Chains A and B, each alone.
Chain A
């Protein structure tokens, strides 16, 4: 660190830069969680003052995670990581190869008394015994002769100093994998009606489409529910066809993707096709049930001119509770609007009291009439998500390195020991010093054990 370096290099090897970059990335990520992003931003942006909107757009705040500045921060972090690692690696490597040899100036007088034991034999004999003792723990032991006796040095766990490089390599691979996925990855949707075949992959965000070299048929789509109304299974039975021939068949479920033709397919969503016909039934008190085939815009008078019903909307799957129609009833008693759900019985069972809490869902809101609806002869369509992401292997490798590196860095430590022997009148005094790059408690314990072994062998007083 004493060499003078160019300002540019100094700038990139500083950990202060790392900390500033990490803080900036965290702040940018935070902005993305409070400002609506991409599709969600449209409604929000109309409420902004035009000047503010211009600022938001200039800084790409509606697409933070793909914005030029966010990617620039990631790239700068990568450069910073590489620079830091290149700068620090040689020192770690030297430590690993040679260890720091004792220079012979270590003296017993510098050590605390509780780290010193006395031995009966001369220093040379004790030194060879202790060298063997130290070698049991340390990969490399060095011995230096001093005017007073000997100094032995040994280290263990040097490899833990490489953990940090492994972690940083992992982070680099994660960034590289993420960028590779963003640049070369493909992500889109294939929408197929039951019984039909499709070979069109529509890219996400409405950015065009691709014709696949194979076709997919949806033989059947199934949705099953638990008793409480929560969905249990979404399942598409698919057939993959090449030139009209069946190549593969399989069931696609959530959490069980299918790989085919270089793409991975995921069960993404589903829906009911328009079509089929809508039947609205209504009954006055305990009277006769009237049934009527209907559609949005249909309007009719209730018997006895008690009111006029208009069908405002029809939904295939309203709030994930199945088909529903919205009715508007005008009468001399006032006007009401409410939804009529096909699955009203199941909704009531799953949410007791819902009809009083949410009158908008009560099919009997226009008393004494009770409405119900049914869809007949309808078909599902399934939506498959398809993805090809060349960054995934890099990301997986990066994550594995990151975790392995963290374990090595944090659960091991580089401990160095020095044994100082000084001879006095044919006997010797032995002192132990130690240092560690982390975990002082662990070092303390190991030094106590080592000191016990040093004193235990022979002739201690």
Chain B
């Protein structure tokens, strides 16, 4: 069975997990939560297996490289990183409330990879410019960073929903009651942004080193480079506004949404502009 066939299956495992997390939030019973979380873990293990399988297959084809070399592979790795970070958070905080906001992100990424006709799922050999170890480090750091920002985005939505649930003055609904205290959500949101920011900085840096070797210029204002800088600035502003001007709560939540919109444009929107990064 090919890795891409298994990955299509994983897409539905994540969908199932999302639906179970949703049932938990609506019915308020932890039974659905443990089922959702168990399914998510199974999905994650299968997903990890597809990455390894694809890696191995590329060697069998004689064009061995880490499965981080085209758009399809980056979508899959992005979704994998989202799951990885989410499962770590679930384990550390012992709370399953974030699942219903995060798992759909991973599901949509994989659905896009599996269904969109424009995404080529074949293992492709590396063209000369991509034949560099910096490729692996660059993609790894960037997408782990994107996944952290996805986490902050989900936490931002969660924070805003919690705020909304409390505003009405009525008794909190089951959905909002299951969201942890606003302080805890906010702290986690901040930490996700910090992690994402450090990883994005590393990602831009490793990309520059690579560009310096491959194209003779560490920075060439390619649209993707430029947009990664814009994203970096959005989060830099967010962090400064928090530490120096004391922004908290709703403002940080809104910034995490703006930041993630910028991440998505850097990742997907830029492809509609002319770019060196057309492989991803």
Contacts and interface: CB of A to CB of B under 8 A. Distances in A.
Contacts of A65: 221
A89 to B, nearest CB: 15
Nearest to B204: A399
Given A255-B213, A407-B198, A440-B187, A34 B124 contact: no
B215 A253 contact: no
Interface string A10-34: 0000011011001101100110111
B198 A410 contact: yes
Interface stretch (A115-123, A125-133, A230-238): A230-238
B87 interface: no
B201 A253 contact: no
Nearest to B122: A228
Contact of B221 (A32, A268, A387): A32
B233 A26 contact: yes
A7 B221 CA distance: 36
At the interface, is chain B mostly helix, strand, loop or mixed?
helix
Nearest to B223: A33
A254 interface: yes
A157 interface: no
B197 A33 contact: no
A37 interface: yes
Contacts of B236: 22
A138 interface: no
A160 to B, nearest CB: 12
B115 interface: no
Contacts of A232: 125, 127-128
Interface string B211-230: 01111111101010011011
B170 interface: no
A19 B240 CA distance: 8
A406 interface: yes
> Interface size bucket, B side?
35 or more
Given A22-B233, A22-B236, A32-B221, A226 B187 contact: no
A9 interface: no
B16 interface: no
Contacts of B245: 15-16, 19
A257 B216 contact: yes
B244 interface: yes
Given A254-B214, A385-B216, A406 B198 contact: yes
B234 interface: yes
Contact of A254 (B129, B187, B233, B237): B129
Contacts of B198: 403, 406-407, 410
Contacts of A257: 213, 216
Contacts of A256: 213
Interface in A403-426: 403, 406-407, 410
A18 B241 CA distance: 10
B237 A392 contact: no
A33 B271 CA distance: 11
Given A32-B226, A65-B221, A233-B128, A15 B244 contact: yes
B221 A37 contact: yes
Given A33-B270, A33-B273, A266-B215, A231 B127 contact: yes
Interface string A248-261: 00000111110000
A268 B128 CA distance: 11
Interface string B198-209: 100110010010
Contacts of B278: none
A255 B213 CA distance: 5
A226 B125 contact: yes
A4 B226 CA distance: 40
B229 A29 contact: yes
A22 B237 contact: yes
Contacts of A441: 187
Given A19-B240, A264-B216, A385-B216, A34 B226 contact: no
A178 interface: yes
A384 B221 CA distance: 21
A402 interface: yes
Contacts of A187: 216-217
A382 to B, nearest CB: 13
A255 B226 contact: no
A399 B212 CA distance: 13
A236 to B, nearest CB: 12
Nearest to B241: A19
Contacts of B229: 26, 29
Nearest to A385: B216
Contact of A230 (B125, B205, B215): B125
Contact of B128 (A15, A25, A228, A254): A254
A392 B132 CA distance: 20
Interface string B102-128: 000000000000000000000011011
A373 interface: no
Nearest to B92: A441
5 contacts: A25-B233, A228-B124, A255-B210, A392-B212, A410-B197
Interface of A: 15-16, 18-19, 22-23, 25-26, 29-30, 32-34, 37, 40, 65, 178, 187, 226, 228, 230-234, 253-257, 264, 266-268, 385-387, 389, 392, 395, 399, 402-403, 406-407, 410, 438, 440-441
Given A230-B125, A389-B217, 20 more contacts: A15-B245, A19-B237, A22-B233, A22-B236, A22-B237, A23-B237, A25-B233, A29-B226, A30-B227, A32-B226, A33-B227, A65-B221, A187-B217, A254-B128, A254-B129, A255-B129, A266-B214, A385-B215, A403-B205, A410-B194
**Nearest 9 A/B pairs, CB to CB:** A254-B128, A266-B216, A15-B244, A26-B233, A33-B223, A226-B125, A387-B216, A410-B194, A255-B132
Interface of B: 63, 124-125, 127-129, 131-132, 187, 194, 197-198, 201-202, 205, 208, 210, 212-219, 221, 223, 226-227, 229-230, 233-234, 236-237, 240-241, 243-245, 270, 273-274
